[in-house]
Amino acid sequence: MTTVHLDEVQKRFGDVHALDGIDLEVAEGEFVSLIGPSGCGKSTLLRVVADLEQPTSGGVLVGGKSPHQARVDQDYGIAFQQAGLLEWRSVVENVELPLHVHGVDKATRRSRAIELLELVGLADFAQSRPSELSGGMQQRVAIARALAPSPRLLLMDEPFGALDEMTRERMQAELLRIARETAAAVLFVTHSIPEAVVLSDRVVVMSPRPGRITDVVTGERPGVDRDVDDVRESSAFFSAITAVREALRKGHP
Amino acid sequence: MVGRARGVGAAVVSFVLLVVLWELAKLLLPDEGVLVGDTRVLPRTDEAAMPHVWTVFGRLFEPEVAGAADPRTVGAAVASGALFTLGLALGGLVLGGVLGMLLALAMQRFGLLERAALPYVVASQTVPLIAIAPLVAGWGGKIAIMGWSWQPWASVMVIASYLAFFPVAVGMLRGLNAPAKADVELFRTLAAGWWTTLVRLRLPASVPFLIPAARLAAAAAVVGAIVAEISTGTRGGIGRLIIEYQQSATGDPSRLYTAILGAAVLGLVAAGAVGLLDVGLRRYRGSVR
């Protein structure tokens, strides 16, 4: 069964044709990036999957359910560009938030949150205030929070967009490890070509006005046996970057 | 604790400075004040207009009515009046605060209500209090709730709450709408309903707006209670004392100042009560992002 299934999805905001004829499948455990210039509708597409926007027409299934049902059942976790941690909650309480909202008892949600903080390497900061953490650390907390209900799908809207290059590369390695360990599928919106290539099984290239999928390029997501830094220096990595770049140019003459 | 000590120190220093300024003005400026042509630009500084600070404090310990059977001091009269008014002001603050919060919640929940009600909320504060006070007292005199007949002090409390609800309603509404769009959307993706979003997001986020609003409301409630006492002629409070002492101001000006001093202390105590709230909600204080 596919994790995300989009069939001829259209989205209009008044006269603006944000999405047009979008067909996309994300398999279980697959990492798919959406890339394209501003206004190509990649964030809108993510928001349609997340049930934050309603498609004007077309079919959307998330884990075989309607997006609304998937949202209610907490079948996906989401992370935005801003970590969006609640300042009055400690780090561990922020990770607990999705479970708290859904009435999971305190002992269960605490042990799950600690487990997730260990996964993102922040167990020592469980009792810290979010403002005491660096931007990269805050984003890791946000990812841990998104993973709290053990979703089969992780939606990420430029989660590393506000981070510096060094932190960003480290976070990409972290995300690859987390995706592998949780076996969750990831739908990942980004502006960065190298980021899309190094993380993804497939890179979906989009063009604006109307937002369309123009090409799909195979990414260089490393398996268990391969280090991400090796990928970044491989020739396959560079040729994939070139392929994405050309696809972007083609879609945006 | 260092911050607390520093705060107390600053309060003491500012009080001493005020006293020094007052006495300096008396010492350096002529009794008739300063006149430019026929216009007085600085007030009279004689004993009738500006009594010495020690005269005012000394008056506190003198009997209110010379040679009376019950030798109650002026200080005791002011203290009991201030306490009476404080009770009414705090009652008004709580009543107005609760109403203000409920109104803000309703306005946040129903956008239409916000657009419909907010102009009236603002307009309510432009109506002069002295026009409202007799009305409230008049209405109150005509009702009895479950056998309990309306008391004049209840009018005072209602009028105090009329002033106190406004900053709370406006501040709270702002605070409830303070969370960023991304935070609200996060709660939506968590399938959290209005109530859960309110309790886990909007209320905590409103605290940094609520505390200063409550401070303003406390001050407004004190002013409201005193003015209401005066304009409804309610006995027992500091408002009444101000009127009484004012009538004897020509003969004994420092007596009026004791009542004003009482009113000022009253305001400080009311603001201090809000400070307790602040301490209790410390966890949420730094949450403005």
Q: Write out chain B residues lying below 8 Å of A80, CB-based.
A: 182, 185-186
- H or E element that contains A94: helix A91-101
Task: Give the residue from B186, B207, B284 with the most A CB atoms within 10 Å of its CB, the best one to mutate.
Answer: B186
For B75, other C-beta atoms within 10 Å of its C-beta total 17
Q: Which one of B190, B284, B289 has the shortest CB-CB distance to A101?
A: B190
Q: Indicate if the pLDDT at residue A168 is higher than 70.
A: yes
Identify the pLDDT of residue B107: 92
CA distance A111 to A213: 42
Please indicate, yes or no, whether residues B16 and B81 belong to a single structural domain of this protein.
no
| Same domain assignment for residues B96 and B219 | yes
Q: Is residue B289 part of a domain?
A: no
Please give the structure tokens belonging to residue A65.
């359910």
Token readout for A38 is 């501003």
- pLDDT at position B285 over 80: no
Q: What confidence score (pLDDT) does residue B169 get? A: 93
Quote the minimal CA–CA distance from A227 to chain B in Å. Answer: 33
Q: Is residue B41 domain-shared with residue B74, that is, in the same domain?
A: no
Claim to verify: residue B216 and residue B269 sit in the same structural domain: yes
> Do the Cβ atoms of B187 and A84 come within 8 Å?
no
Query: What is the structure's pLDDT at B288?
Result: 44
- A53, A71, A74, A86: which to substitute to probe chain B, counting the most B Cβ within 10 Å? A86
The mean predicted confidence, pLDDT, of chain B is 85
Closest CA in chain B for residue A151: B190
Q: How far apart are CA A62 and CA A152, in angstroms?
A: 10
The whole domain housing B5 covers: 1-50
Q: In whole angstroms, what is the distance from residue B131 CA to residue B19 CA?
A: 36
Residues of A with CB below 8 A from B287's CB?
86-88
User: B27 and B154, same structural domain?
Assistant: no
Whole-number average pLDDT of chain A: 89
Mean pLDDT along residues B153-180? 91
Residue B144 in any domain: the answer is yes
pLDDT in tens, A126-163: 999 999 999 889 999 999 999 898 899 999 999 888 88
Q: Are residues B108 and B189 in the same domain?
A: yes
Q: Are A232 and A241 in contact (CB under 8 A)?
A: no
**How does residue A33 score in pLDDT terms, banded at 50, 70 and 90?**
very high
Q: Long-range contacts: B106-112, Cβ < 8 Å, 24+?
A: B107/B169, B107/B173, B108/B173, B108/B176, B108/B177, B108/B202, B109/B194
Decide if B180 and A84 are in contact by the 8 Å CB cutoff. Answer: yes
B214 and B260 housed in the same domain = yes
What class is the A4-75+153-251 domain? Answer: alpha beta
pLDDT at B67: 67
- Residue B55 within a domain: no
- CB A50 to CB B189 under 8 A? yes
Answer yes or no: do B76 and B43 share one domain: no
Q: Do A88 and B283 touch (CB under 8 A)?
A: yes
Among chain A residues, CA nearest to B195? A101
Burial-class residue B13 by CB neighbours within 10 Å (0-12, 13-18, 19+): exposed
pTM given for the model: 0.82
Which structure tokens are listed for A208? 């604006």
* pLDDT for position B287: 45
- Determine the pLDDT at residue B103: 93
Count of other CB atoms within 10 angstroms of residue B48: 14
* Percent residues over pLDDT 90 in chain B: 29
List of chain B residues whose C-beta atoms are within 8 Å of the C-beta of residue A84: 180, 182-183, 186
ipTM of this complex prediction, to 2 decimal places: 0.88
> B276 vs chain A: nearest CA distance in angstroms?
19
Structure confidence at residue A111 (pLDDT): 93
In this predicted structure, which of A57-66, B33-42, B100-109, B120-129 has the lowest mean pLDDT? Answer: B33-42
Helices (H), chain B: 2-28, 53-59, 74-109, 111-124, 129-140, 152-176, 181-189, 194-197, 203-232, 238-247, 253-280
Span B97-126, mean pLDDT? 89
Question: Across the interface, do A101 and B201 touch by the CB < 8 Å criterion?
Answer: no
- Put simply, the answer to whether A86 touches B204 (Cβ < 8 Å) is yes
Residue B277, class by beta-carbon neighbours within 10 Å (0-12 exposed, 13-18 middle, 19+ buried)? middle
pLDDT tens, position by position, B15-73: 899 889 988 888 888 887 787 877 877 877 887 778 888 888 888 888 877 766 677 88
Tens digits of residue pLDDT in A174-197: 889 888 888 899 999 999 999 999
Distance to chain B for A240, nearest Cα, Å: 33
CB contact under 8 Å between B289 and A87, yes or no, is yes
Which stretches of A103-234 are DSSP H helices?
A: 106-119, 135-147, 165-182, 193-199, 228-233
Residues B217 and B276 in one domain: yes
Mean per-residue pLDDT for B140-164? 82
The CATH number of whichever domain residue B254 belongs to comes to: 1.10.3720.10
Q: What CA–CA distance (Å, rounded) separates A158 from A246? A: 22
Domain assignment present for residue B57? The answer is no
Residue B61 is assigned to a structural domain of this protein:
no
- Using a CB–CB cut-off of 8 Å, the residues of A that contact B are 50-52, 71-72, 74, 76, 78, 80, 82, 84, 86-88, 97-98, 100-102, 131
* B86 and B18 inside one domain: no
Q: How many independent structural domains does chain B possess?
A: 2
For residue B96, pLDDT beyond 90: yes
Q: Do A88 and B189 touch (CB under 8 A)?
A: no
Residue B59 domain flag: no
The token duo for A140 is 């890791």
When scoring A62, A65, A88 by the number of chain B Cβ atoms within 10 A, the one with the most, hence best to mutate, is A88
Indicate the domain borders of chain A: 4-75+153-251, 84-150
B110 and B44 both lie in a single domain: no
Please give the full DSSP string across A10-43, using - where no structure is assigned.
Answer: EEEETTEEEEEEEEEEE-TT-EEEEE-STTSSHH
Chain A residues close to B194, C-beta within 8 Å? none
